[in-house]
Structure 1
């Protein structure tokens, strides 16, 4: 490890059947990390074999209670004061690696967390509008001053009151979907989680929201967030976002009116501590 460093860095990653992504993810942060925590939710593919081939990886396994809960559990395994949190389908680009390295070598630190932009590759191009970029969120933070919160699966880092945050140069590169079919599969899964979570918190079916919310979402993405500047992919993203919104309320109808116990595509261990 570079002798100029003034502080150490842990990288936290959660996984489930990520054999196609995990090598590139770890490789992108291997040179800047002092340790890499991989918390796996009982994968059945080669995720563990690939992850543990890196000497800096500390590998743990646990059932999946939810995105927020699992990411906070991964943080708890980290041994260093500063943590970079990534998903398995994300990578740190060259500019971000250089920025983090400079931060680790800096003499003084007058903040508790850094917001980092995320750039997503989808349908053959980098998506720079549609509300997908820059999506700056806290990803590099002091362990004692931050935690994951939000509505599963739409989680985010929140700093403690009084903490100071800054922005960091560079992007997290996000390879979220292999193709449009993969996006639809993800939308189907995530909408189930949202509906299940909201129902558990007391929300019930609304016909008016089911009718008008999807239309509003399309206008938001395609017009107000300039999705049309992303070309045809921007149009598909707007339609997919609208469809995702519809599915959330349709599945809430099943839970509320049809008394469905849970959507069939939610893992049986979901919600277990």
Structure 2
């Protein structure tokens, strides 16, 4: 890192939550280790080599906690950060070179009025970068003052919310998202995430609607493929729209199972999900 003499440099904490991320964690760390002063990893009891790989990195501070939910886990990770400014990434995300330069420039500024900065996320899927389908730019707050922001949202679809929304800015560059290994992985993730959403919604009193379970998936396909120009992403865009439609259907189907007491929790959810220990 090149310092600007005569000006104070902010210190930066990187916060990551993990579970069985041995294939991703090192690349995530490598993309920001030159600009982060500490790397806080909160792991939910991985059974692979995530812990051993992470702890080989000098800047890593490694913590473990049973998984409470995405929002809860990410807020806990922030609480372990020692510096005022936090960059939050998932293990399957990387900071682009342009983003690294933007963050470095920010760290070397003398005065900052903002409490947080939105960053675009660019996802690689089925052999190409996806620039449409509602997947880009998807700007969200990811760099923020620790005491001025909090993770909120419906698990697993979490997002950072500034306590004062008027104090936000935007950084140049992208968070590069390697979300899926292939289409099969996407379907597996959709199945897992729809279970979390349906379980969370049912707990909040949502009920099954046959009418919505028919119309909402159709509407979702039209939204992704036509309104959000998924057709410009080629064949992957078509499959993304279909997968999004299927995901919407699954959420209603699983609420139906829960409402009828066929199940207490979807079988593909972690047994400890939501259990405080």
Q: TM-score w.r.t. structure 2 length?
A: 0.97
- SS of structure 2 residue aligned to 1:216: helix
- Structure 1 Cα separation of the partners of residues 9 and 164 of structure 2: 26
Task: Give the SS at the match of 1:11.
Answer: strand
Residue in 2 that maps onto 1:158: 161
- Alignment map for 1:149-228 (pairs within 5 Å): 149-161=152-164, 163-228=166-231
Equivalent positions of 1:131-146 (< 5 A) are 131-146=134-149
- Write the distance in 2 (CA, Å) between the matches of 1:89 and 1:162: 27
CA distance in 2, matches of 1:272, 1:257: 23
Q: 1:39 aligned to 31, 42, 52, which one?
A: 42
RMSD: 1.0
5+ residue gaps, structure 1:
none
Partner of 2:236: 233
Structure 2 distance, partners of 1:96, 1:84, is 12
Separation in structure 1 between the aligned mates of residue 111 and residue 119 of structure 2, nearest angstrom: 20
**Is the partner of 2:16 in helix, strand or coil?**
strand
Q: Is the 8 A contact 1:145 1:163 kept in 2?
A: no
| Structure 1 residues 218 and 63: alpha-carbon distance in aligned structure 2, compared to 1, 3 A threshold | same
- 1:155-213 per-residue CA deviation (whole Å, 9 max, x = no partner) reads 00000035500110000000000000000000000000000000000001110110000
Mapped partners of 2:92, 2:271: distance in 1: 23
Q: Secondary structure at the match of 2:186?
A: helix
Identify which of 25, 29, 33 aligns with 2:28.
Answer: 25
SS in 2 for 1:87: coil
Number of aligned residues: 273
1:65 aligns with 2:51: no
Gaps of 5+ in 2: none
For residue 89 of structure 2, give the secondary structure of its aligned residue in structure 1.
Answer: strand
Structure 1 length-normalised TM: 0.98
Query: What does the per-residue CA deviation read over 1:19-76, in whole Å, with 9 as the maximum and x for residues that have no partner?
Result: 0000000000000000000000000000001111110000000000000000000000
CA distance in 1, matches of 2:27, 2:244: 28
Report matched runs for 1:43-122 at 5 Å: 43-122=46-125
Partner in structure 2 of residue 148 of structure 1? 151
